[in-house]
Structure 1
Amino acid sequence: MIPAPLAALLAGTARPGHAVVAWRDGEALTWDRLRGDVGALAARLDGERVALRSEDGYAFCVGLLAAAAASCPVLLLPPGAPALIESLAPHWDRLLGDGGEPILTGAAAAPPAGFDPARATVTFLTSGSTGQPKRIGRSLARLEAEVAAVAALAGPLGPGCHRATVPHHHAYGLIFKLLWPLLAGRPFAARSYPLWEPLLAELHDGDVLVSGPAHLARLDGLASARRPDLILSAGAPLPTAAASAAARLFGRAVSEILGSTETGAIAHRPGGGTMAWLPLPGAEIDHDRDGLLLVTAPWLDGQARGADRIVPALAGGFHLLGRADRVVKIEGARVGLAGVEAALAALPEIDEAAVVVLPEGGTTLAAAVVLSEPGRLRLADDGAFRLGRALRNRLAERLEPAARPRRWRFVPSLPVNALGKRTNAAVMALFPSGSADA
């Protein structure tokens, strides 16, 4: 179904009132119910700066639309994280949802007339690579345009439900879990699925599964007879083993989405792996003289420059070469951290690696490593210190001395956030000052 404008949806002219918006604990929540809930909440608001936090996707959607209809700028907050919420208090006047005023009260009213999504501002929080929160604002009109591109990419889908393992306060979750089905007339599951077992128990043929590497890498021992129409992953590259496991479990290849909070979704990679990224419908991808990604799209205000270096591929596609800001100076030499990670992952003892520069003199290269089965056996025999030294020596065939890590951590898995994205801050926390390697 072609996405309908939010203004028409709230006015009641685009969908019949009995059509299902969301499912929650077996209850069908309809468009009549949604419009009534949005109108009741909007009547309580008057242009204040609103912070929105709710793990219930339906309540979150009501809060977002009501605040926008009442001309209230909206800041999307994560669940939990009390210290973060407290630090952001100067940026909002009213907190709606979890820990604040109730979103759903049982009252109903017609939404305000004259809703203009171009004047409705939604602010996301993103940690980037440093772990420090940044506020990124986008209009609902821009998000609508992104939904149109996503729907055009997916093509016809069955009547199934959107179910997600990712949170909806991030741009990826908001677009693919809530706004896309909302605008396209497909229901979404109001509940969140941090664990696979409850999701698989409710999954149906024809559903859309919105996930990411943090969850798709944890499919061992699971079984499913259901066949979703579409499986999506975003936030970080999906390991080949995880993509293969998902394809075996669900009978369908995973489609990866590339984007950022600043740009929204810009490209996709059907089947994942080493295939080239292909621009989303309406997006134009180019690069500058330094190889940095440039993107133009209807959901962007002009041309945006990314932090990733790219190289063109056939049929208008491109390959990522890593982030430009991950080139550092070590002992006077330029070292690409992505290249060091690739050299480590090529060793038979290593499944996955993350490399950071520690603040100890600004030149200490450290590697957090997930070992393969041969690597774990060698760690048990040699210990952490000797294994780290042996791995550094093995890298002599591939890397100059400045690019070989001096400190090591051997971990069961690399730390990631809810979207499966790795941050420098989380990896650096594995190397507290003065600690010994282990």
Structure 2
Amino acid sequence: MELDHNFLQPAICSLIAEELAELRGISLLDLDATRWDGETVIGSDALPVDSIELVSLATNCAERFGLQDMGAGDYLLRHRRIIDWADLAATGMRETGTVTFRTSGTTGQPKRVTHRLEDLEQEIAVLADLLADARRIVSLVPAHHIYGFLFTVLLPMHRNLPLSRAGSISGMPPADLQAGDWLIGFPLRWRQMSRLGRPLPAGVSAVTSTSPCPPELIRDMTALGLERMLSIYGSTETAGVGFRFNADEPYTLFDYWRWDGHALERRRPVSGATVRIEPEDILEFSDDRRFRPTGRKDAVVQVAGRNVRPAHVATRIAGHPLVERCSVQLDDGGEEPRLSAAIVLAAGTEETAAEAALRDWAGNELASAERPARWRFVNELHFTTTGKPHGWEAST
């Protein structure tokens, strides 16, 4: 694949926006990175930064695209148009043959994960076939995380497809959707669209990933006019592993993956060598190609000496008629670790009465170790920019 710096601009904008939002403790919406283009100068009135922020941004970019390995990181400080950084990023990827991502940090501190460009290109060739009828990619996701990078940077680059990123921060698609558009999002985005209830034009499809998308949410999107939903299973560590178009069916492994009974093995495209990766999820295979994720291997916590799965507890609570959504985490700040629940109540539900009813229900329906010691009622659950619960086990 010929690396085109023009297609890398969304990843640079996305990286800068998220880094600045974290440094300043503000919302991504406060930055409105969709106004930036290739001629925007980092440090100008259009994108003001101080010297500390500039160094942090340059370091992050150099780390992602291998510029430190080339000794070219200081070029980022001297050439500060976004198109300059995109050009340097393309050079770094071309010279090192790699690109680095960070995990979202939902289960601990974010870590660096470096992928070979040849492996990502191998996946893009498969995705291009799955999205063969795409006329435009409409991004509702950040472009510098691996999911967004694959679908809103490398795929448009491979197919020379136009890209709309107007909704990449707000999460809402543009008003000019048309047949052949493919929306790239995750369950939180689909839930937002479902609540608004705005019909979709005929011929619009979507891709979902980063966290499981409930079948009922896909049905809600279909009711709005969505033609089909492609679900991708994968992670920052593995990139894409499998796909499905029907949420009631298992995922199918991409051709270059195989399951050896304990771990995933990936066949590299050039050398033919295999890479073995143990997935973080428990995968149940119905045959040698089809599988279902049934939960995370590390999802068990201990409360009062008993093993408890916060995600299972969240699912149970979310099934209560007073609850719209729920997330559960282990609160180990007290003398004894206990579960804590954050709950979005169903419309029209009063908090005091709801807490009494939920505590009574939990006393009858949940084991003692599963009962949350603390109940918090919130307007919305906290998610990362890729739609994963931030520090919580969540249920929809």
Note if contact 2:314-2:393 (Cα within 8 Å) is conserved in structure 1: no
Counterpart mapping for 1:103-114 below 5 A: 103-104=82-83
| Change beyond 3 A, Cα 1:339–1:393 | same
Q: Tell whether 2:216 aligns with 1:249.
A: no
Distance 2:21 2:393 in 1: 15
Equivalent pair of 1:131/1:423 in contact (CA under 8 Å) = no
State the partner residue of 2:375.
408
By how many angstroms is 1:425 displaced? 6.4
| 1:364 counterpart (316, 321, 338) | 338
Picking from 211, 228, 238, the partner of 2:213 is: 238
Match of 1:59 in 2: 9
1:160-175 alignment runs, 5 A limit = 160-175=135-150
Q: In the superposition, relative to structure 1, how do residues 287 and 380 fare at CA in structure 2: closer, same or farther (>3 Å)?
A: same
Judging changes above 3 Å, is the alpha-carbon distance between structure 1 residues 80 and 312 closer, same or farther for their aligned structure 2 residues? same
1:422 to 372, 384, 389: 389
Of 361, 365, 374, the residue aligned with 1:395 is 365
CA distance in 2, matches of 1:174, 1:226: 26
Number of the residue aligned with 2:353: 382
- In 2, distance between residues paired with 1:116 and 1:383? 53
Matched, 1:156 2:132: yes
- Structure 2: gaps of 5 or more residues: 25-52, 63-72
Is residue 2:251 matched to residue 1:277?
Answer: yes
Q: Distance in 2 between matches of 1:182 and 1:226?
A: 25
**Separation in 1, partners of 2:354, 2:167:** 41
Distance 1:95 1:226 in 2: 45
The question of whether the paired residues in 2 share the 8 Å contact of 1:225 and 1:250 is answered with yes
Letter in 2 for 1:352: R
In the alignment, what sits opposite 2:185? Answer: 211
2:23 equivalent among 83, 92, 96: 83
1:218 CA displacement: 0.8
Residue 176 in structure 1 maps to residue 147 in structure 2 = no
Instruction: Tell whether 2:115 aligns with 1:138.
Output: yes
Amino acid at match of 2:340: A
Task: Report if aligned partners of 2:208, 2:229 keep a CA contact under 8 Å in 1.
Answer: yes
Give the Cα separation in 1 of the matches to 2:103 and 2:93. Answer: 26
Ranges in structure 1 where 5+ consecutive residues have no aligned partner: 1-5, 11-33, 39-55, 65-74, 428-438
What one-letter code is carried by the residue in structure 2 that aligns with 1:280?
A: F
Cα offset for 1:196?
A: 5.8
The C-alpha deviation readout for 1:412-438, integer Å capped at 9, x for no partner, is 3321122211121698xxxxxxxxxxx
Deviation at 1:87, TM superposition (A): 6.2
Q: Structure 1 residues 423 and 235 mapped into 2: Cα distance closer, same or farther (>3 Å)?
A: same
1:76–1:169: 8 Å Cα contact kept in structure 2? no
Distance 1:90 1:184, change over 3 A: closer
Measure the CA separation in 1 of the matches of 2:121 and 2:104.
24
TM-score (norm 2): 0.75
Amino acid at match of 1:156: A
Amino acid paired to 1:184:
R
Residues 416, 426 of structure 1: 8 Å contact kept: no
Q: Which amino acid aligns with 2:217?
A: A
Partner of 2:42: none
- Structure 2: distance between partners of 1:407 and 1:381: 13
TM-score under structure 1 length normalisation: 0.68
AA matched with 1:147: I
